[in-house]
Amino acid sequence: MLKTLITILGIGLSATAMAQTVSHATFYSPDGLRFIIYLNGQQMNSEPQTEVRCINLTQPYYSAKAVFEDPTLAPAERKMLQLTDAHHNRVDATFVLEKNRNGEMKIGWKSQTLYPQFISEERTPTVVVVGGGTGVQQTTTTRTVTQAQPEGVSMSFGGLGGHVSVNTGGSGQAVIEETTTTTTAAPAANSGKELPCSGTILGTDDFDEALQTVRMRSTEDGRLQSGKMLVTTNCITTEQLKKIGFLLETEQAHLDLAIFAYPYTLDKGNYFKMNALFTLEASIDALNNAIIGK
């Protein structure tokens, strides 16, 4: 009986681990062209955008197509969009929509990082849309499968991506619930008119490289000034700004950066997360008062 329970639990943990084996993909147009991405024929963003990030992708390969808002441009297609490396490890990949030598639009590989982690839909959308969106839409679909089981024991366990309950009693049943969420989100701060910044929306690799330039400064003031420069010359998210802030040591430097960066941040609705930088409630109050004043 114990071996049976261990086996069932092992299967459940394996299923959870499999659910965490995912890839992410970012598509962007350096020329500011707006487009809709289709993966395996499924429309990912509800309206044309200049950059679309898709997370928690479960397949190693996809057929991808970008349909442009400009009707004079033919769709760009990539029959095999690979989201693994040569050793079959999952990746977080970036693709660029640009013209090839013949002047036709293509989906070209730009960069990638290894071993992306599953991102909880409770915190982060499955599809993140940036670059002039007009709102937020969310659709949730739940499918439940029920079947009778023979006599035995009953147990349940849960994990990322759903909850599994196993009941092998004679009158019991096994219920498997699967929930998928697709969300398209635009920066709430700009209401679809224009971005609150004039620079580039940095991908993971580009941001890590930019962060290194801040880290290399030898003084607190130097790191603060480099951080402010990074904010004003690029489009920064709250999570990226927090990483810049954690390179600073003093409470005052954290506050100076947080107050300075607020007008430039893409996702102002998440700015409460900057409170993690502070050890004093007075600093949080100072930041809130500065934001209200803006």
Report if residue 176 sits inside a domain.
no
- The DSSP-derived string for 26-66 is EEE-TT---EEEEETTEE-SSS-BSEEEEEEE--SEEEEEE
The structural domain count of the chain equals 2
What does the pLDDT read at residue 124? 41
What does the pLDDT read at residue 232? 85
Specify whether 133 is located in the same domain as 21.
yes
Report if residue 111 sits inside a domain.
yes
Looking at beta carbons, which pairs linking 102-105 to residues 24 or more positions away fall under 8 Å?
Answer: 104/74, 104/76, 105/66, 105/68, 105/73, 105/74, 105/75, 105/76
Buried b (16+ CB within 10 A) or exposed e, 54-75: bbbbeebebebbbbbeeeebee
Q: Which two tokens stand for residue 164?
A: 């599994």
Report if residue 145 sits inside a domain.
no
Specify whether 205 is located in the same domain as 112.
no
What does the pLDDT read at residue 183? 36
Q: Give the residue with greater pLDDT, 8 vs 79.
A: 79
- E-only strand ranges, the chain: 23-28, 35-39, 42-43, 51-57, 61-68, 76-82, 91-99, 105-114, 127-130, 137-148, 154-159, 162-167, 173-185, 200-201, 234-235
Report if residue 182 sits inside a domain.
no
Specify whether 133 is located in the same domain as 210.
no
What does the pLDDT read at residue 286? 93
Report if residue 28 sits inside a domain.
yes
What does the pLDDT read at residue 279? 93
Mean pLDDT, the chain, whole residue set: 75
Per-residue pLDDT for 15 more than 50? no
Q: Is the C-alpha dihedral spanning 163, 46, 132, 55 positive or negative?
A: positive
What does the pLDDT read at residue 206? 80
User: Comparing C-alpha atoms, which of 102, 127, 27, 14 is closest to residue 67?
Assistant: 27
Specify whether 35 is located in the same domain as 110.
yes
The residue among 107, 137, 167 that closes a domain is 137
Q: What is the largest CA-CA distance in the chain?
A: 70
| pTM for this model (two decimals) | 0.43
Report if residue 120 sits inside a domain.
yes
pLDDT, tens only, 223-276: 999 999 888 888 788 999 999 999 999 999 999 999 999 988 888 888 999 999
The residue among 92, 108, 137 that closes a domain is 137
Average pLDDT over residues 67-72: 94
What CATH number should be reported for the domain holding residue 54?
Answer: 2.60.40.2890
What does the pLDDT read at residue 196? 63
What share of the chain in percent tops pLDDT 90?
42
The residue among 82, 115, 137 that closes a domain is 137
**Domain limits at 212?**
200-293
